[in-house]
Each structure stands twice: as structure tokens, then as C-alpha cells.
Structure 1
Amino acid sequence: MAFYSTTISTNNDLADIYYPKSSALNSGTYCFQIALLLQGALLDKSFYSDYASLVARYGLVVVVPNNLRPSPFNPTSPPNLVSQTSQIAPVLSQMAIENTKPTSPIAFVVDTQRLGLLGHSFGGAVGYRDYIYYQGDALDPNLRVTTVAVPEPSSNPPSAL
């Protein structure tokens, strides 16, 4: 597993991108799905480094952007780190760029037609709410979106489901 940092060009969000590391990574035999991780409110992308690394080991390109936006409760306050599903389109655009840029560590290995949406706390609620209400209709109809809420990275997974 490896990662690098970049800026999402359409919205200027800083993002860390985690990806599976293999000696044959750019051999043309790999194609990794994107997983966008929507953070909990006020949490920096670095909080998720261990979790994003773990998910990337399963064969996903995990994008963890810092999304600064005005507070919905106090619009005059400075912007805060708050996830929103409007991050999906800019992340997909950036992944298309990264996938075709020869100098990118993930060049030619990203499946830009599939997106997994991970969320923690507020980010999980936002992703789940928007997917349930909109069923992905606001997105490209050819894009398959899956929404999963995950526990805090520091918590133990449930012993039974």
C-alpha cells in the first residue's frame, strides 16, 4: 500500500490518495475501483490514514479529501471540514485525470466507472441520506454507487451482525 497527496482541481480540496502497491501495478493487468471516504465533521484527512491504508489493501483506490465549507448552522463562521456528496463529481473528475496522467502513481489502473462511498460519523450520515433519497439519480446514470457507513477507525468492529 502507498499514498500520495494532491489537490482536486475542480474544487481545490486537498486529498490523500491511497492505493494498492504491487511490482506489476502498471502492467495493464490491474483495474482498481475508487472509494471516496467522507469524513466525520471537523476531522482532517490525516485522521483516516490507517483506515484508508487498510481499505486500499483490499484493492481499492481510496480518496480522502478535506472539504472546507461554511457552517450550515453559522454561515458567517470560518469554513470547517464538513463532508458533502457534492464531492463525488470532483473526485471522479480528478481520478480520470490521475488515471491518464503518465506521472501519476495510479496511471492507467483506476476504474473511473465505479465508486464506493465510505463514511464515518457525519460523513456516513451524509452519504447514506443522499443515496437513499436520491438513489444516485443526480449522478451519471452509468455510475454505480454503493454507500456504507463504517465505525470509527479506533473502535472495535461488531462481533456479530
Structure 2
Amino acid sequence: MPRRSAGIVLHRRGADGAAEVLLVHPGGPFWARKDAGAWSIPKGEHGDDEEPLAAARREFAEELGVELPDDGGADAVRPLGEVRQKGGKRVTAWAVAGDLDPAAIVSNTFELEWPPRSGRRQAFPEVDRAGWFELAQAREKLLPAQLPFLDRLEALLGG
């Protein structure tokens, strides 16, 4: 059975009226020097016993340290469907209109043996930074498998 993740595509209108999305950059030494094609939507794994939208909200709060801002009530949570990532993981996402300050995020952490085979464990943030990106720039930053979410969001927003 493939692993499953759920996430949120938080979006807003920028100062010039263009659609912007919030993306997160994974923390840890493997991702430290990677930028283009390395960013993601805030998301995380869930089991069969957890409702995917509830998991997406939980993961958003864990990765960013804030509850999901919701500018439009329950009707503003709109499904964006599912994609399959390179390793086979299935990711389901929802679009939510909202705003937050990416400089204020505080991510949860994970432990990793680092350097490899050193016997030393270090803690790293799951997300080391977040940022707002217009759709064209977001397409350069985002993991390639998640690009369909931007296309679907753009269609929902009317171009």
C-alpha cells in the first residue's frame, strides 16, 4: 500500500492582484543547498484511520507553528485532488484562501544521525523557511510532482 500525505495550498492575492501561494522549504542537511524543485506545499503523512483533510490541517500547524488561517469558512476549503510523487507517495491537497507571515513560522523538528555514521544525532526543523510566491515563480520552486496542484488552483481562481 503506497504511503499517503495530505496538504494545504494556502493562497492569497498579492499587492498587484496576482495569485500567490505559500510554499515551504524542507529542513535538514540534505535540502540545505537545494532550491529550485525542492519546495513543497505544507503536507504530511497520515494513516487510513485519519481523515485526510484533518491530517492536512494538523500537518500545516506542525510544519508552520500556526493554525491554518481560513478567510472564508468551510466553503473556502476546496479540493485540488491527488498526485503521485516520484517515490510512489500519494498526496491529496486542498486550496484555502488565507494569509500569514512566513517570517513567524516555527516548525517542529526531527532527529537525524549527522554526519552519517558518526553516531551523533542532531535535531533539524522539518521546515526551515516558508515564502509567498506568484504562480510562475512557484512553478520553478515546487517539487515537480506537485505542479498539478498549481494548475488546478489557477483553474479554480479563474486563470
- TM tier relative to shorter chain: under 0.3
| Higher RCO (Cα < 8 Å, 6 or more apart) | 2
TM-score, normalising length from structure 2? 0.25
